[in-house]
């Protein structure tokens, strides 16, 4: 469901256009002020109620209309809209960073901007988007596993361990197969077995080194 435009940041372009057209010293009523912002009066009234520092010249009541200094009021809204837009951009960048789409890894989260109209809705939208993204990523991983693109690390480690055990037993049995009667000179047999052990150690070291990388630097 799309987010309903309720924040001054959603009307930033219209506020800037209204400010360019505003004449210094112009005093306007509620309808005229809303027209200058590009929003409805109901939305503008919510902004005013939520902002105790809004520069209202006269609040509307029975028999007395709302009165605004158009330039001062638009400047106040523009400042608020720009701050909210910057905060929204920072939150979207943070969502992207957490999802792994950009930003320095391990960077500190962006600071929160002050609360205001539309901020809670923005954060709720961001949270829903991040949740949907995480679910999509998990589904992608599951599909890749099912398709054989991913293999469980523990399964690979077990396979390598079994493979190394087989290589070791078969390699150390080579001399017995080549010289079943034991007719080789002792120094020749010892030399061959030493070379075979060196090969085993080299292969084992390389295998263990790769396992250490997969385990994130832990002991193999």
- The tens place of each residue's pLDDT in the chain, 220 residues long, gives 445 557 899 999 999 999 999 999 999 999 999 999 999 999 999 999 999 999 999 999 888 999 999 999 999 999 999 998 888 777 666 666 665 555 444 444 444 444 444 455 555 655 666 666 667 767 776 776 666 666 677 777 777 777 777 787 777 778 777 778 888 887 777 777 777 787 777 787 777 777 777 766 544 4
Output the CA–CA distances (angstroms, integers) from residue 181 to 10, 171, 175, 184, 187, in the order listed. 90, 18, 10, 8, 16
CA–CA separation, 105 vs 91, rounded Å?
A: 16
Domain locations along the chain: 1-150, 153-214
The set of residues, in sequence order, having a beta carbon less than 8 Å from that of 139 and lying 6+ positions away, is none
């Amino acid at each position: 469901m799309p987010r309903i435009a309720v924040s001054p940041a959603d009307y930033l372009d219209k506020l800037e256009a209204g400010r360019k057209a505003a004449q210094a010293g112009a005093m306007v009523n509620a309808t005229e002020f809303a027209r200058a912002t590009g929003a409805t009066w109901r939305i503008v009234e919510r902004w005013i109620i939520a902002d105790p520092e809004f520069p209202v010249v006269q609040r509307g009541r029975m028999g007395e209309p709302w009165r605004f200094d158009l330039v001062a009021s638009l400047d106040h809204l523009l400042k608020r809209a720009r701050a909210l837009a910057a905060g929204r951009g920072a939150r979207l960048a943070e969502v992207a960073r957490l999802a792994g789409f950009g930003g320095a890894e391990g960077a500190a989260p962006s600071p929160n901007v002050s609360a205001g109209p539309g901020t809670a809705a923005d954060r709720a939208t961001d949270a829903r988007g991040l949740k949907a993204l995480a679910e999509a990523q998990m589904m992608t991983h599951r599909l890749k596993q099912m398709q054989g693109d991913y293999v469980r690390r523990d399964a690979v480690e077990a396979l390598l361990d079994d493979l190394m055990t087989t290589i070791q037993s078969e390699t150390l049995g080579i001399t017995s197969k080549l010289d079943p009667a034991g007719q080789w000179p002792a120094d020749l047999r010892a030399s061959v077995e030493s070379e075979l052990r060196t090969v085993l150690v080299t292969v084992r070291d390389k295998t263990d080194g790769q396992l250490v990388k997969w385990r994130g630097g832990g002991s193999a």
